[in-house]
Structure 1
Amino acid sequence: MPDGPVGASERSAFSRQLSELKRDGSNLLVVGQRSSEGHSGVCRHLLGDDCAGRHRVVAFTQGESVCGYAPDDLDADGREIVRYDADDGSGADDDLSALGADVVDAVDALEARAEGFEPGELRLCFDSLGPLFVDHEPERLFRLLHVVTSRIRQVDGMGHFHLRVDRDSDHVNLLEPLFDAVVEVRDAEAGAEQRWHLRDGDVSTDWLQL
């Protein structure tokens, strides 16, 4: 991937691929260890505003909100909430299976209410993958994400998954093949910045202000 600023051809390829991701369905892995502002900014952008026809699934594994929004901030008619509970008394494998089933069921419920989705109408935020690496074997988490990301693509949705580790982390290397792009965030003097790494075409952007 290029290390410096992208040239005209790379910018054109990047813009074209972003349009394709929105049209065809996509999943993004949002990484960065020390930028809560960056994670929140990307999350708000990818979940989008409350325009007509927007449907959202928010899944969180700790706390009572995803990083970009509290659930009550979102249109109740167009959202489904999934909470991960590792302390419900079931086994660890059952916890993970239940989480995957709950996310897929949430997508199914919204799809039924909407009588189908237009491309990009469904948005998923999964915040975050970090606790799941603590509770489960990485290979099982990989299988869970394969199921969830496949369902998002089936409905031409856009899913993003937060993982607060550095870009070169072993966790990122394991999961990256499941995703269409890795979005790296960081804090800078002028504010939070993002850098996109697209798998298709091996294109990376320079750091861009959020």
Structure 2
Amino acid sequence: MEDERGGAVPDSATFARTLGTLKREGSNVLLVGSEATGTHETACQRLAGATKRDSRYRLFVTDERGVSCGGDHETDCVHTIDYSSTVDDRTPLGALGIEVVETIDEFADDADGFEPSELRVCVDSLVPLLREHDPQAVFRLLHMITSRIDQARGMGHYHVPLPRDHDAVNLFEPMFDAIVTVRSRGGTEEQQWYLRETETTTDWLEL
């Protein structure tokens, strides 16, 4: 069976194994889909881990226009970076990247090294950055952040509430392990995963 992109559709066992690998080895996921704010929030809670009282380290990189993924409870293991002041096109995005990396480094020191998927990072969203900065500058920022998350064997997800075929999505796609499109149909929130390593796309799955 093939999907609309010409790739195979993985069966549930293969998909589950792939997700297990992404959790063990670290991963970065691009969340796309326009007009689906509530669905983005649901997907974010799943990827960041909905339970706050555990040992995971969570970093939320957002501004006041974010989808409120849960970064409003600051603790030693939860931190929020508000990039509102960094969106100005006069401010180099590298400063934001350095702040993200330094925060992850502080988490790593506190944890005495991360266990697989112990670090969870949410960037919400990339659209304000794209409005104020050249896409190539945003690309370099993402490369800095995704590389550090891979090194930590963490799990990062990045909200881009734009259509799957948007130019920005096509530009960023090579950096990510998976592209997840979210939507709401008939009151049901759904997700569809495109796994880059195997070039496979799942069916629409309920969130």
TM-score, normalised with respect to structure 1: 0.89
How many positions carry a matched residue from both structures?
A: 203
Structure 2 residue aligned with 1:68: 69
Asked whether the equivalents of residues 56 and 80 of structure 1 are also in contact (C-alpha less than 8 Å), the reply is yes
Could you give the per-residue CA deviations for residues 60-104 of structure 1, whole angstroms, max 9, x where no partner exists? Answer: 0x30765322422xx612112211134698823x2x111101111
Could you give the per-residue CA deviations for residues 171-204 of structure 1, whole angstroms, max 9, x where no partner exists? Answer: 1000000100001001111421111110011111
Deviation at residue 162 of structure 1 after TM alignment: 0.2
Structure 2 residue aligned with 1:15: 16
Structure 2 residue aligned with 1:55: 57
SS at match of 2:76: helix
Deviation at residue 52 of structure 1 after TM alignment: 2.9
1:172 maps to which of 169, 172, 179: 169
Q: Judging changes above 3 Å, is the alpha-carbon distance between structure 1 residues 65 and 71 closer, same or farther for their aligned structure 2 residues? A: farther
Give the distance between the partners of 1:128 and 1:118, measured in 2 at CA.
Answer: 26
Structure 2 residue aligned with 1:123: 120
Structure 2 residue aligned with 1:77: 76
Q: Judging changes above 3 Å, is the alpha-carbon distance between structure 1 residues 19 and 88 closer, same or farther for their aligned structure 2 residues? A: closer
**Once superposed, what is the RMSD of the aligned Cα atoms?**
2.1
SS at match of 1:14: helix
Q: Judging changes above 3 Å, is the alpha-carbon distance between structure 1 residues 40 and 103 closer, same or farther for their aligned structure 2 residues? A: same
Give the distance between the partners of 1:119 and 1:13, measured in 2 at CA.
Answer: 20
Q: Judging changes above 3 Å, is the alpha-carbon distance between structure 1 residues 87 and 117 closer, same or farther for their aligned structure 2 residues? A: closer
Asked whether the equivalents of residues 66 and 126 of structure 1 are also in contact (C-alpha less than 8 Å), the reply is no
Asked whether the equivalents of residues 28 and 161 of structure 1 are also in contact (C-alpha less than 8 Å), the reply is yes
Task: State the one-letter code of the partner of 2:159.
Answer: H
TM-score, normalised with respect to structure 2: 0.91
Give the distance between the partners of 1:140 and 1:127, measured in 2 at CA.
Answer: 17
Give the distance between the partners of 2:191 and 2:181, measured in 1 at CA.
Answer: 6
- Which residues of structure 2 form unaligned runs of 5+? none
Instruction: From the two aligned structures, give the one with the greater helix fraction.
Output: 1
Query: Identity across aligned pairs (percent)?
Result: 41
Task: State the one-letter code of the partner of 2:193.
Answer: W
Deviation at residue 12 of structure 1 after TM alignment: 2.8
Give the distance between the partners of 1:76 and 1:184, measured in 2 at CA.
Answer: 31
Q: Does 1:104 align with 2:83?
A: no
